[in-house]
Chains A and B, each alone.
Chain A
């Protein structure tokens, strides 16, 4: 027995010695190098929430035979990692971040080349005092055109690397019936476990989640262009504003922007969830309204609209050749909470006068800022390299003068599909900055003075997982708590017949004075549009 114990002890000593000997350590002597480390993803300089998952990265310098990375705080906490693929243990990383909250987290990288150690210039992360909403949802999709396969709406915990599929379209896939799922949007950051998403084609309808209850509604009526498309939950009432769109895709022969997603007609509707009725908000024929969003008090609905004067009988052909002539401005309508009626529209931001086009307005939770994308034309900016995020101060009476691009966020490639965290301190947005094609999610700190800080890419367990993933993340939203229903519950509800919504007329306070030309709805059914992938 004593002999066996002795053997165990010896093995333990050997293992401990080997492990300890292999543990990375900062070299005792080194020279100072001039150039910084080249890493992917390059999140250095970004402001991080203290509850974010480790920002693992890969060092791209290939001439180093050994690499040691040391993270440390002013208070003395440190973590040391070895190798070119730098990954941190979650618990150690979290401890460091909490220690550095409101301060700086430093990163020193040491590389050994030609037998000599070099210390690269110290990098840093700023650690905000505010934490971030722990969950996000997004759709994972190939940056495709009209085909789609294996679409998933996913939920990811930002505090670690846990990711789960809320729903995947292949559950009803067969050779004849596909499903396109999109626009998962929580109400009030999912505080009350309410959200919705659309299912197109097979078993189509809009799926409403309320706790673990799931229902499916057909929002298309004879009087509306389409079922609901881009949604906006009212913050206090059980209402959802939607755009209804006749959307199509046309393809560039040479331009690397590759595809234009064009609305050939669009209106706004208001869906009363309790009454299951759909009302028109705006269906002016000469205006293409889209992307509604509510102010936090629910008294104002913001949206975009482009004025369109037909130059030919064939609107499709006309817009296909003049796709860059559509410029969307930002508008607002006051909403009477008691009567549930909208007032006349007013111009908030005239993008057209700048030769630009605005899209995807989103108001900050404190109601002070309106974040939107601005590009050269159109509204589907994820395909537009000129698309940048801009911020408009709603406190100002002259909103046109108080608009500025978020320089710290923007890149030469497309930025779009952004959302606010529940406290308004974090902006989640999609960007194609990495390769102009595959959308990745970035998160930026938005401080109390209205400044955006350098963003960081959604943390991944493996530094190269984004590199290997030939799919795009899109339409991401923050959540304070996870979505409840299981995929099986969703599947059951989706398989059931959709409850048809009924049309309830106009939701305008003075419908007779607001619109002069009402869009005829007869043409809507005649158009057959391809499903939009983005």
Chain B
């Protein structure tokens, strides 16, 4: 017992450290991606759904793996000297789940974390029963075996840790997504600000959405990191798979939010992550009977019964975005591209829609609709024109060959800054040099984005 306990304690500490540390958002997402009503192995799906409450899921998962270790010892009648070897399989099963990363979205296995674990347990029990009919082996105490097994334990733990998928962008997307789903838009922005590496388009989209929701898009959007870092996974429509329905829902493209939630449900099963958006859209569409059906489906889960409660607050901010004429369209799975162009090319609508048109026109560098959108919004700003719109107004007026409209309340500081950019740009000349040299002073302006940020790959 003395020799067994340190292994178990070390494993539990390792597993909980990894699962509840960096991988906590991954656990939570795994819970949301577990089809609960499946007639696949129910127990595995039920256990995996507990990842929705990360500490519970982590304890269950860790506990099952510990049981696997002890089952091996029992099945093969090993003495304590060999016990270290019994942890290779738990570490392998641990890594089998934690290394999936993005693939957790596209796996068709119902419960990829728990199914192998439970099947392993079943096989070990069967083996143990069968081996019980044979004479018990007599193990001689051997010190070197004890040391070898301890070394194996350490190596297995090291390998499992290294195999765990701890891609920072992936985990950030998940944290931002979870914050967005809870309406914690400030938290989304905080996560975006804290990032050190180039963001993926999914992070950029979530940041934009949070800025839109907090009404700070016009003042801060270009101050946040831009980028199109590749997803650390095989080529796929990761943005759509991870946050497609969320973005479409919050931007009022209800048909597309419903469509992709449904398409993914067809492909990957009745996951709460999809049912949530199917329910939200049905409610917002006024399809009460349909919404109730999804609500009843979610009510059958353990952790998503109250997922619809936040909807009222969400719908209040989405309704103004529904003030547009329906049309037939298709996005080919390119969510960001579709949203940007859809808003940039739209006309009229509510104040919120016009602001999206203005901003997405700026983002796509399509300035043809700038003045109509800008002038339509001008009275709503009540004297304070958001900084990026001032910057854009100055720039567009210059590009169109005229000086800024004198009646516009463009702040002198903005005008002076623009002049500094023009002077510096003329002085530095070469475009490549400008990108680096101007970034510290002008990297948070629309001008810098318009002239120097290029080659972003929307998806």
Contacts and interface: CB of A to CB of B under 8 A. Distances in A.
Interface string A403-444: 000000000000000000000000000000011111000000
A470 B300 CA distance: 14
A149 B106 CA distance: 13
Nearest to B300: A468
A149 B293 contact: no
B321 to A, nearest CB: 10
Interface stretch (A122-130, A139-147, A515-523): A139-147
A252 B37 CA distance: 30
Interface in B266-317: 266-267, 270, 282, 285-287, 289-290, 292-293, 296-297, 300
B328 A254 contact: no
A251 interface: yes
Nearest to B322: A254
Contacts of A144: 262-263, 266
Contacts, number: 88
B235 interface: no
Contact of A255 (B37, B292, B296, B326): B326
A253 interface: yes
A437 B267 contact: no
Nearest to A248: B330
Contacts of B371: none
A142 B35 CA distance: 15
Given A258-B255, A437-B290, A468-B37, A252 B328 contact: yes
B454 to A, nearest CB: 30
A148 interface: yes
B258 A436 contact: no
Nearest to B342: A253
Interface centre among A148, A250, A256, A259 (most CB of B within 10 A): A256
A438 B262 CA distance: 12
Given A146-B263, A253-B256, A323 B297 contact: no
A467 interface: yes
B407 interface: no
A252 B262 contact: no
Nearest to A437: B290
Given A435-B293, A436-B290, A258 B258 contact: yes
A147 B263 contact: yes
B259 A258 contact: yes
Given A148-B266, A258-B259, A468 B328 contact: no
B324 interface: yes
Interface in B186-238: none
A147 B342 CA distance: 24
- What is the size category of the interface that chain B forms with chain A? 20 to 34
B263 A255 contact: no
B326 A253 contact: yes
B16 interface: no
A513 interface: no
B164 to A, nearest CB: 25
B255 A251 contact: yes
A124 to B, nearest CB: 26
B327 interface: yes
A320 B285 CA distance: 23
Contacts of A468: 37, 296-297, 300
B329 interface: yes
B264 to A, nearest CB: 8
Interface in B314-358: 322, 324, 326-330, 342
B254 interface: yes
B265 interface: yes
Contacts of A168: none
B253 interface: yes
A145 B263 contact: yes
B270 A259 contact: no
A411 to B, nearest CB: 12
A81 B414 CA distance: 79
Nearest to A252: B255
Given A255-B255, A436-B287, A323 B328 contact: yes
A455 B293 CA distance: 22
B290 A435 contact: yes
19 contacts: A144-B262, A144-B266, A146-B263, A147-B266, A149-B267, A251-B330, A252-B326, A252-B328, A254-B252, A254-B253, A254-B322, A255-B255, A258-B255, A258-B259, A321-B327, A435-B289, A435-B293, A437-B287, A437-B290
Interface of B: 37, 252-256, 258-259, 262-267, 270, 282, 285-287, 289-290, 292-293, 296-297, 300, 322, 324, 326-330, 342
Nearest first, the 7 closest Cβ-Cβ pairs linking A and B are: A435-B289, A254-B326, A250-B328, A435-B290, A255-B326, A252-B255, A144-B266
Given A253-B328, A435-B293, A436-B287, 13 more contacts: A142-B262, A145-B262, A146-B263, A149-B266, A250-B328, A250-B330, A251-B256, A253-B254, A258-B258, A321-B328, A470-B265, A470-B293, A533-B266
Interface of A: 142-149, 250-256, 258-260, 320-321, 323, 434-438, 467-468, 470, 533
